[in-house]
A and B are shown apart, each in its own frame.
Chain A
Amino acid sequence: MEAFFTIANTDLLVAMVRLSTPITLAAIGAVICERSGIVNIAMEGIMIVGAFFAAVGALYTGNPWIGLLMGIVAGGIFSLIHAVATVSFHLNHVVSGAVLNILAMGVTRYFMVLFFGHPGTTDPIPNNLGQLRWAIPGLSKIPVIGRMFFDQTPIVYFSFILVIFFAWFMKKTKVGLHIRAAGEHPLALETIGVSVKKMRYLGVFISGLTSGMGGAYLAIENSASFTEGMTNGRGFIALAANISGGWNPIGAFIASLFFGFADALQVRFQVGKVFDIPEEIFIIFPYVATIIAVAGLVRRSRPPKEVGVDFMIEQEGD
């Protein structure tokens, strides 16, 4: 039991925030996307594409900021395939998402070999964002909280800003209201003259941008290289965070912190050999946490009514 207290310290909480960041970013995207009415299980794939292109950008230009931008843009562009398939061609959202996840794995492996001559892992990225630790003067001195939230790397801060921005955006702006309406009752929106199609494209695109950023975080900030499959299901966990968080950016952030905590704990149990059982057992931690969270919380929150439902205007008859 003594060993347990060696890991339950501020470092664990700092790691929680760090590990939750990619989930938070994708989860905000999931909130916007599902609120607009589109289920996006392709976020896992979008993240991996974002991670890959961020690594490519950072390696080729030597500038991690260009890498970040490339990761975000690549995620956005890749997500548009999902938008075209589901909104314009009325394809089932889950089918399209599943296909894109497989496509993402194939595409990154193909480009991996094309750009680097081998599959697997890229060379280390010499200039990465993990090297930039931005301590906020004053605030970072607060015990525990200071190190958790005010002594972090750039994208971690961006994720905080985005959570607050999108919480405001959804509640207080016209476009935010329209996106919420598109997922709740699309025909109501269309009949007062706002295009549901545009709102849904926008919802998917935003989720592409934030997931791309989440992927970039993994490759150029949390670690300093790209490895195939390095997202490890975080895109799916983000969906669960969106659901547990009640389709709301702040809730999704809190749920992401929870999943980040499970992840941090897992790493420490594995490394610290706290209990005398095979460490591989702990790898399932975040996933078990996901199942429990979704099963326990899902019934209390209500999804947008028409999420996952196709919208088509001109129907036959009366």
Chain B
Amino acid sequence: MMEHEEGFSLNGYELQKYQPNRYPFLMIDYVTEVVPGKSAKGYKNLSNNEWFFPKHFEGHPNMPGALQLEAMAQMLTVAITTLPGLKGFATHAMKHNVRFRKEIFPGERLYIESKVISWKRGVCRGIANGFTNGTLACEAEMWITIPKIFKKYLPDHGEQS
């Protein structure tokens, strides 16, 4: 018999229990499937009403790369904060390697697939790919941390870092 990973979805309201960012910095709208500690998939819809489109850029609106990365990091965060005992914990970015493949425009949906490579001592290493219209738009390798856990393992308990 094949083993099945237990996944579930989170709507736009439910996901906020696992993702502390709020408007205007909540960059994911729906989690279609999260497998705690393993992966999270979902999307961000980009309407013309996004706060950043009027100025980024006038006459050529497209989603800032930094926010694409933020969206991928937020999706990866959900894969961690859905683990037992971590609901509502804030995460911090430590180090990201990101590649942007194409521009993302108003009216498109950024579909994100994130995967946890490792989760140990408050540090998550993971990857994410973002797609629009079925093709790769951005990708990242990320290290995110839950400082409350992570700092317990540092020689100075995080005072200098």
Chains A and B bind each other = no
